[in-house]
Amino acid sequence: FGFELTEVIGDFAASSSRIKMTDVQARFYGGSLNAEIVLEFAPEPVYHIETELTGVDLGLMRAVNQGIFSQVKGKVDADLNIDGKTGGENIIKGEIRSIEGAEVKAMLLKPLLDYIPQSTQKVDLNALIVQNGDVPLDVAVVKIDSIRDDALNTDIKLKSKKFNLDIGLKADFNIE
């Protein structure tokens, strides 16, 4: 994935068939990460990761993935669980919540313009889209659930008082 952790501490136990890391704590992009990681080798290598992120600054993550992290701003908390096989089959479940300074590129909301009644907010949002500006969000919550390695289900909730937006969106993504 390319993410960087610093100041990593935790407990480590290993046997011939299992590695378990508990109480893993680290600094992570201006915030913190707490995790438990289990790797099992028999009969087929599998892993389980439970992660809690607190106060992570999305802007600091641009170097990891410019395409995603240039579209969003702010600090988030998150709970993520990942189960997988070393051959690439991953199941991800979790929730990401904005806690401070949440913004999203206005261009991402362009498909919704046709559903917004004519208003000052609609004119302002359209102007932000043209200027490649950012929409301030009071609430931003993304729930993630992948039931297969090649499909991701999301439930997105966005609220902006400034633009009188209250969006609930479910999106399914096929991953190639």
Return the pLDDT at 1. Answer: 62
Q: In tens digits, what is the pLDDT along the chain, a chain of 176 residues? A: 689 999 999 999 999 899 999 999 999 999 999 999 999 987 889 999 999 999 999 999 998 999 989 999 999 999 999 998 877 778 899 999 999 999 999 999 999 888 888 888 899 999 999 999 999 999 999 999 987 777 889 999 999 999 888 999 998 888 76
- Residue 127: both structure tokens together: 């102007």
Distance (Å, whole) CA 152 – CA 144: 7
Return the pLDDT at 86. Answer: 74
Looking at residue 99, its amino acid is I
List of residues 6+ apart from 149 with CB closer than 8 A = 88, 89, 90, 91, 175
- Residue 2: both structure tokens together: 């390319």
Return the pLDDT at 89. Answer: 73
Distance (Å, whole) CA 104 – CA 58: 11
> 156 vs 76, 93, 166, CA distance in Å?
14, 14, 11
Return the pLDDT at 148. Answer: 75
Phi, psi for 2 (deg, rounded to 5): 90, 5
Return the pLDDT at 132. Answer: 95
Other CB atoms within a 10 A radius of the CB of residue 158 amount to 23
> Which pTM was predicted?
0.87
